[in-house]
Amino acid sequence: MAQYSQSRFDASFGALSDPTRRGVLEQLMRADASISDLAERFHMTLTGMSKHIGVLEQAQLVATQKVGRVRTCSLGSRRLEEEAAWLENYRRLWAERFDALDTVLEDLKRKEKRDGRKSGQ
Amino acid sequence: MVEKAGNEPTGKRTTSERRSEREMVITRTFDAPARLVFQAWTTPGLFKQWWVPKSSGATLLSCEQDVRVGGSYRLEFAHPQGGAPMAFFGRYLEVVRDARLVWTNEESADGAVTTVTFEDQGGQTLLVMRELYPSKEALDIAIEGMDEAMPETFEQLDDFLLAMAAGAPGR
């Protein structure tokens, strides 16, 4: 297991060490794209881009699907897991704030009950 | 006594969702009328008591809120790792008492516009917060940046909640 994740880590690390591949990931965060689209955008040959995509695919950072003659690339499961983790942290930040807000609201309710609600409020 | 070990009690759960490429939506129900939730959100002395997550280690140095259309707000934080205080600021675009707040986040060029609605539901309040970013990239960057700023553990939160539950009203 440890070895598996180590190799997965190495694969990700290797995949992300190249600026073109990082650019491809950024591009795919915006929208799916075919290999020829990506080749054109990054001024490369189809073969060159296919190699980069192969590396990203191995690291599960990119997934590809062939429809007819066109191979379309999208973000892989790995990338989506990371995005899910970000969203969870975001939710936790707010959950933490709102739990603290509950305490403030309990205080306010207690005070109102004690003092009686002021008219005009 | 409410158990807070990671699981929030049902009905009080905070949900978050990436509603679109550039919008985050958060919802939460509070066991208090909208009037009080709005008050806790717009009164600096109260706002200070809940806004800063304990787990962030940050402290709120100052909080100014001029809650009216066109009015500005400014929050300054000190980070435990030191360095210059971080400021968050912007303007209120809409203010409807006890019901709705809209403000800008101007500390970065790609800041969101935040809309919070307070919906009174018979003594409880459904709060819906939307953060609309100018672009998908801006939201991606914001989420990524926050991830780095937040520590993984929330043990401090448990301590905090226990301490708060133990008393000290009107802090």
Residue of B105, B67, B12 whose CA lies nearest to A105: B12
**Whole-number pLDDT of residue A76:** 83
Q: Where exactly are the structural domains of chain B?
A: 15-149
Element (H, E) at B126: strand B124-132
Q: Where exactly are the structural domains of chain A?
A: 2-75, 77-113
Please indicate, yes or no, whether the overall pTM of this predicted structure exceeds 0.80. no
Q: Which residue of B has its CA nearest to A82?
A: B144
Cβ separation of A90 and B24 shorter than 8 Å? yes
Nearest-CA distance A31 → chain B (Å):
10
**Whole-number pLDDT of residue A10:** 60
Nearest-CA distance B52 → chain A (Å):
7
The whole-angstrom distance between residue B31's C-alpha and the CA centroid of its chain comes to 17
- Which residues neighbour A100 within 8 Å (Cβ) at sequence distance 6 or greater? B49, B50, B51, B53, B54, B160, B161, B164
CATH classification number, A2-75, choose in 3.10.20.600, 1.10.10.10, 3.40.190.10, 3.30.460.90 = 1.10.10.10
Sequential pLDDT tens for chain A (121 residues): 334 445 555 666 677 778 888 889 888 877 899 999 999 999 999 999 999 999 999 888 899 999 888 899 998 877 667 667 777 878 888 999 999 999 999 999 999 988 876 544 4
Give ipTM to 2 decimals: 0.73
Residue B95: how many other CB atoms lie within 10 Å: 18
**Percent share of chain B, pLDDT over 70:** 76
CATH classification number, B15-149, choose in 3.30.420.590, 3.40.50.620, 3.30.530.20, 3.40.718.10 = 3.30.530.20
- Write out chain B residues lying below 8 Å of A83, CB-based: 143
Cα angle: A80, vertex B141, A17; to 5 degrees: 65
pLDDT in tens, B28-74: 999 999 999 999 999 999 999 999 888 778 888 999 999 999 999 99
Contact B161, B57 (CB under 8 A): no
Q: What is the DSSP string of chain A?
A: -HHHHHHHHHHHHHHHTSHHHHHHHHHHHH--EEHHHHHHHTT--HHHHHHHHHHHHHTTSEEEEEETTEEEEEE-HHHHHHHHHHHHHHHHHHHHHHHHHHHHHHHHHHHHHHH-PPTT-
